[in-house]
Amino acid sequence: MSETKIFEASPEAKGKAKQLRLFAILAWVLAMAGQVFAILKLISDETLVWLIVAIVIILILAITGSTLWKKANKLDPASEKNKTKFFIQNQLGAIMGVLAFLPLVILILTNKNISGKTKGIAGSIAAVAMVAAGITGVDFNPSSIEKYTEEINQQTEAAQQMSIDSDNVYWSTAGNKYHAFQDCYHIKDKVLSNGSIKESWEQKGISELCKTCQKKAMAASSSSMKEIESAVETQ
């Protein structure tokens, strides 16, 4: 039985994840600032158009933050052992998406100084934007150290069954698949990294074997089995 390989994000992946999270937080801060500005300056009949523009900008910022945050979690996932931290880290985008609009929606709907028409239009648009930001921020299939560990070991075992050296695979800096053969035409003349399947996950988040390499490995494995069977039969 092969040794169990525990996933651990590389320093490079952690550094990139940290950068993505900082940009996500910046986007959320700007979204919150936009909401405060809209509350203080734009809730009136005369500024309805600008209020709608502000809502759209806030939505873009909220979705941008959530997208960046989820990308960071793919590179540097949380552990499922701490349920609270795991939930907050993976669903923070949904939480921030709702918070970017909830106070604005409440204040629009409860404001006594605007007409019913303005209240209906602005309130409806803000409510739809809040739902959109919340749903977009939800991670329906969150990554975790445990999930990555399980998938890494499954792929390592599958590679070994095809006689692929799971500790000696290749991937390009811009690619999203790892390769069993350095001469694969998909990575010809590209800058390559070399290491184990586990390292391809940790460094680049690569989790899939190249289909061309898979077919080549399966054909080579099948040919080897036939040679062994033929040798046994002739004995």
| pLDDT value, residue 1 | 41
Average pLDDT over residues 82-105: 97
User: Between 199 and 98, where is the model more confident?
Assistant: 98
Confidence band, pLDDT 50/70/90 cuts, at residue 116: very high
Two tokens, residue 71: 């990308």
Q: Where are the domains of the chain?
A: 11-137, 145-225
Asked whether the predicted pLDDT for residue 131 surpasses 90, the reply is: yes
- Residue 133 scores a pLDDT above 70: yes
Cβ neighbours around 131 below 10 Å, total = 13
Distance CA(192)–CA(2), nearest Å, equals: 26
Q: What percent of the chain has pLDDT over 70?
A: 92
Residue 232 pLDDT: 47
> What's the chain's average pLDDT?
90
Q: Which residue did the predictor score with more confidence, 55 or 151?
A: 55
pLDDT value at 205 more than 90:
no
Q: Could you say which DSSP state residue 95 is in? A: H
Tell me which of 44-53, 99-108, 161-170, 215-224 is least confident. Answer: 215-224
Judged against a pLDDT cut of 70, whether residue 234 lies above it is answered with: no
**Are the C-beta atoms of residues 180 and 159 closer than 8 Å to each other?**
yes
DSSP string, 115-163: -HHHHHHHHHHHHHHHHHHHHHH--SS--BHHHHHHHHHHHHHHHHHTT
Kindly tell me if the per-residue pLDDT of 115 is higher than 90. yes
Which pLDDT belongs to residue 151? 86
Q: Which residue has the higher pLDDT, 142 or 189?
A: 142
Number of other CB atoms surrounding residue 52 within 10 Å: 17
Cα of 140 vs its chain's centroid, Å:
11
pLDDT higher than 80, residue 229: no
Q: Is the pTM of this model over 0.85?
A: no
Give tens-digit pLDDT for 44-69: 999 999 999 999 999 999 999 999 99
Interior angle at CA 227, CA 221 and CA 233, nearest 5: 140
pLDDT above 70 for 104: yes
Kindly list the distances between the CA atom of residue 36 and the CA atoms of 24, 93, 114, in Å, as whole numbers in the listed order. 19, 19, 18
pLDDT of residue 117: 96
Tell whether the model's pLDDT for residue 132 goes beyond 90. Answer: yes
